[in-house]
Amino acid sequence: MRYYVKMLIFLLACLALSFGAQANQLTQAQVETLRAQYFKQEIVPSVNLHNVRTSFPDGTKGFTRYHIPEMGWGPIKPYATLSDLALHRQYCASDAVVLATHLSSTSYLSQAKDLLMTASDFAVIDVIKGDSQRIARVGNTIDAVRYGGEVTDQGEKLRVTVSKRPDYVAGHQYLLFLKGKTSTGLMPFHASEYATLEVLDHRIYPSEKHWGGLEPGDSYLDTVDCIRELSATFKCPQ
């Protein structure tokens, strides 16, 4: 029965996609609030993208942000493996964890022209961890934002990418570790900034190897079982 429910949700997502579903439009106020959050986290330096000296092979002005994966995880105990430790850490750090179909994305540029972000809409297929506001529910459409994107501003194309993190593709399924949904629901979730976790034929393919303890080709169902066993065994830090 669970399989048929998921298939129905997937078909509804495809139907929405076929009618040209658009990502929830962010207001400029929301964009500026998100910008403040990014700079508070010191993700990027403040520089007007029109003034950067680097560009992509096609001539688009911008740059690629590189990320150095964490090498040390600290003590493994009481976990059996590093993978279990990494996966449980990602689970605990997330407000919601879901399997969802990507519908559409829209990129936004801050007023200072120094930050690009992309908001994406997803149709939720399965919920591994639900958020406190019950926004991430099966059948719901949720919105999530990530650093980077591409826009045309003042007649000039601007682009910011993240190394080893491909864009979402409409109609494809993804495992999303989501953070930061406000209690009012007025701001989008934050999806992983450094990895894209595509799910194809019930297997997970993280764009960054070892992200969250996941390896390319890991079984989605086995991963869900592992997450639930870990969450039942170990408490998340307060």
pLDDT tens-place string over residues 41-93: 766 667 899 999 888 999 999 999 987 766 555 678 899 999 999 999 999 99
Which of 1-5, 185-189, 233-237 bottoms out in mean pLDDT, i.e. has the lowest?
Answer: 1-5
- In this structure, are residues 160 and 56 in contact, taking their beta carbons and an 8 Å threshold? no
Is 6 within the bounds of a domain?
yes
pLDDT score, position 63: 92
CA dist list (Å): 28 to 25, 32, 88, 122, 187: 9, 6, 35, 22, 12
Residue 159 corresponds to which tokens in the numbers above? 């682009």
Is 208 within the bounds of a domain?
yes
Chain segment 150-169, per-residue pLDDT in tens: 999 999 999 999 999 999 99
pLDDT score, position 71: 52
Domain count, the chain: 1
Please state the rounded mean pLDDT for residues 182-195: 77
pLDDT score, position 42: 65
The whole domain housing 20 covers 2-233
Which of 98-102, 206-210, 217-221 bottoms out in mean pLDDT, i.e. has the lowest?
Answer: 206-210
Is 84 within the bounds of a domain?
yes
CA dist list (Å): 34 to 11, 38, 82, 123, 215: 32, 6, 33, 23, 31
Is 46 within the bounds of a domain?
yes
pLDDT score, position 15: 39
pLDDT score, position 69: 67
Q: Which residue has the tokens 């990014």?
A: 38
Chain segment 131-145, per-residue pLDDT in tens: 877 788 899 999 999
The C-alpha atoms of residue 200 and residue 32 are separated, in whole angstroms, by 35
For residue 196, give every residue at least 6 positions away whose Cβ sits within 8 Å of its Cβ, in sequence order, or none: 165, 166, 167, 168, 174, 206, 207
Residue 188 has pLDDT above 90, yes or no: no
Chain segment 91-114, per-residue pLDDT in tens: 999 999 999 999 999 999 999 999
Of residues 123 and 132, more confidence is placed in 123
Is 238 within the bounds of a domain?
no
